[in-house]
Amino acid sequence: MQKTDGNEVVIPGAPATQEDLTQELLHDSLQTGSRMRKALLISGVLSILGFVGLIMHFASGSSDHTTWNFYAVVYFYVFSVTMGIPMASIGLRMARAQWRRPTSRSAELFAIAGPINLIFFIPILLVAPPIEGRNSLWMDWALAPWFPDIIMMVLLVVTGLAFLYVSLLPDLASVRDHGIGRAQRIATILSRDWNGTKSQWSIHKSALGILGAFYITAYAMTHLVLATDFAMTLVPGWKDPIFPAFHAVTGIQMGTALLIVTMYLLRRLGGFGRYFELEQFWGYSRLLLALSLFYFYFWWCAFILFWYARLPHEQAVVALFISGDYADPSVFSRPQFLMFLGAIGFSFFLPLLLLMWNVLRRSIVGPTIVGVIILIGGFFDRMRLYANAWSVDQVGGHGLEYIPEINAPTISDLFVMVGMISSILFLYLLVSRVVGFVSLWETRQALLLRFVKPWGVGHVSVVIKPE
């Protein structure tokens, strides 16, 4: 316990001491209760559904990409959400926000979804139409888009897993040294020779920094190539350089939303109330508000141009993704417009209205509700983009000549969605059996770097930001 100016340091409230912390995070939270067993079992079984859905899709025999439109919706939704969560944590780590420390683990654990995303990416590659006769970033390169895109995906997944592993390392060592049972055996293998020496910590710190920067780059570039190759290229006349950035930012937005929901669930079901406190929810809800504003800004930047310049090929893009067919007199019978309303309503207007309200923003339930809303809105948004873009069967041309019919989703799309989500959940819970949902070393450092001391009649907190 450190001292300043002769004043005894006060840390009021919960996780009081380092010993308590170790007890809670290393022993109590690693016990696998019956509820956890059930969750593991159910998610494990449901995981199979994903593969069933895939087989059903392939068995239907259609290699026409327009029938895979809702598969693309599901895939890009899950991909955007799960790969976006670590971004929220890495970004805050770079900004040296101390409050994010207890939440980092639950965010970064989502990097475990990488392999699942990789597996379900393969059908996308197989059914996506070739780039001949289409606009493309790849200059008619023979291997494009399959080769560069799979490389980018692998890079992103591997970077995510590497980042996760490095951030787990100190905790794995703690489990090795203090844990029990199977977790300890696994941790002994994984933790290698981590002893927490000074040089190890300094390498650890720079490794996290470099891998974090690398993840951000890989994330941005993967979204760039995927959004271009599997959405923009399919629609003739759609040139929208901000779209990849929009795609990446909405991914982070949905990721942050899911993180808040995860935090809430862990708080309610896992008993981690001490670690996911008001301050964490407040911090993420501010981030969520900012990201929702970005959603609108990036969308608007594209829309204002398409609307103002009145170029025919861009008006067709607006019809495809926003308004629907102008010929249809009833606005609400156009599926494109309904999808758009759902997307912008749930991703921007509702979150803005709710989070603008101080009482809701600075609460635990408020951000959670908004998180759920944004997850719904995000699905609408991916539906608006991919279901429409994948329905286009026109190849080449200066602009889209007609607004295509959207192929309805099938039961196999639902299976794939349930399967992907369950398998990610299964892996998430499985890994949490070894390392827990809250990072021990991060939380310990947070306790060291921040404390409350008396000041006049009240208290002030002292924040230390080492170089």
Partner 1 sequence: MSDVKWGMVVDVDKCSGCQACVIACMAENNIPINLDRDFKENRSIAWIRIERYWEGEYPDVKARFLPVLCQHCGNAPCEPVCPVYATFHNDQGMNIQVYNRCVGTRYCANNCPYHARYFNYRRPTWPETYNNYLNPDVTVRDRGIMEKCSFCVQRINAATRIAKRDGNEDAIAGLQTACAQACPTDALVFGNLNNPDSQVSQLYNDERSYVLQESIGTQPNIRYLKKIDEHAAAEAHAH
Partner 2 sequence: MQDRPTLTPTQINEELLWPVFSFRRRHAIAFIPPMILLMGGVAAVTILVYQGLWVTGLARPAFWGFFIVNFVFWIGVSHAGTMISAILRLTQAEWKRPITRAAEVMTIFSLITSLLHPVIHAGRPWRIIYWLLPYDFSRGIWPDIRSPLVWDPIAITTYLTGSVLFVFTALIPDFALIRDQSTGLRKKIYGQLALGWRGTPRQWKLQGIFGLLMSALILPVFVSVHSIVSWDFAVSVVPAWHVTVYAPYFVIGAVHSGVSMVLTLMALMRWIFKLENYIWEDHFDAVGRLLIVIATLWLFFFFLDFAFSFYTREEQELAVMERRLFEWPFNAITVIMVFTSYIIPIPLWLSRRVRRNIPLMFWTSILVNIGMWLERYFLIIPAIERKQELTFLWSNYVPSLIESLVVLASFGMVGFLLLLFAKFVPLVPAWEAKEGVVFREDVQFGQVVLPGIIKETEEENVW
Contacts to partner 2 by CB under 8 A: 2-4, 12-14, 94-95, 98-99, 101-102, 135-137, 139, 220, 224, 228, 239-245, 277-280, 293, 297-298, 301-302, 304-306, 308-309, 311, 446, 448, 450, 452, 455, 459-467
When the beta carbons of 57 and 223 are compared against partner 2, the nearer one is 223
Q: Name the residue among 369, 300, 386 with its Cα closest to residue 78.
A: 386
Given partner 2, partner 1, none, residue 298, with its beta carbon under 5 to 8 Å by kind, binds partner 2
CB 125 within 8 A of CB 149: yes
Quote the least distance from Cβ 141 to partner 1, whole Å.
Answer: 27
Give buried/exposed letters for 417-433 (b at 16+ CB in 10 A, else e): bbbbbbbbbbbbbebbb
* CA 409 to mean position of chain CA atoms: 24
Quote the least distance from Cβ 165 to partner 2, whole Å.
Answer: 25
Give the Cα separation of 294 and 305 in Å (integer). Answer: 17
Quote the least distance from Cβ 290 to partner 2, whole Å.
Answer: 9
Query: Which pair of tokens denotes residue 426?
Result: 């299964």
CB 14 within 8 A of CB 450: no
* CA 168 to mean position of chain CA atoms: 19
Quote the least distance from Cβ 228 to partner 1, whole Å.
Answer: 22
When the beta carbons of 37 and 239 are compared against partner 2, the nearer one is 239
User: Which position among 311, 341, 372, 406 is part of the footprint of partner 1 (CB under 8 A)?
Assistant: 311
When the beta carbons of 342 and 399 are compared against partner 1, the nearer one is 399
Query: Which pair of tokens denotes residue 56?
Result: 């059903």
When the beta carbons of 90 and 418 are compared against partner 2, the nearer one is 90
Task: Reduce the DSSP state of residue 455 to 3 states and report it.
Answer: strand
Quote the least distance from Cβ 310 to partner 1, whole Å.
Answer: 6
User: Quick check: 398 binds partner 1 (CB under 8 A)?
Assistant: yes
User: Quick check: 341 binds partner 1 (CB under 8 A)?
Assistant: no
User: Quick check: 399 binds partner 1 (CB under 8 A)?
Assistant: yes
Residue 52: CB atoms within 10 A of its CB come to 15
User: Quick check: 307 binds partner 1 (CB under 8 A)?
Assistant: no
Task: Reduce the DSSP state of residue 275 to 3 states and report it.
Answer: coil
Stretch that binds partner 1, among 113-121, 165-173, 281-289, 308-316 (CB under 8 A): 308-316
Give the Cα separation of 276 and 270 in Å (integer). Answer: 11
User: Which position among 6, 8, 95, 308 is part of the footprint of partner 1 (CB under 8 A)?
Assistant: 308
Stretch that binds partner 1, among 226-234, 269-277, 302-310, 320-328 (CB under 8 A): 302-310
Give buried/exposed letters for 105-142 (b at 16+ CB in 10 A, else e): bbbbbbbbbbbbbbebbebbeebbbebeebebbbeeee
Given partner 2, partner 1, none, residue 347, with its beta carbon under 5 to 8 Å by kind, binds none
Give the Cα separation of 339 and 98 in Å (integer). Answer: 39
- Give the type of residue at 94: M
Q: Name the residue among 73, 84, 65 with its Cα closest to residue 380.
A: 73
Q: Which residues of the chain form contacts with partner 1 (CB under 8 A)?
A: 308-313, 315, 398-399
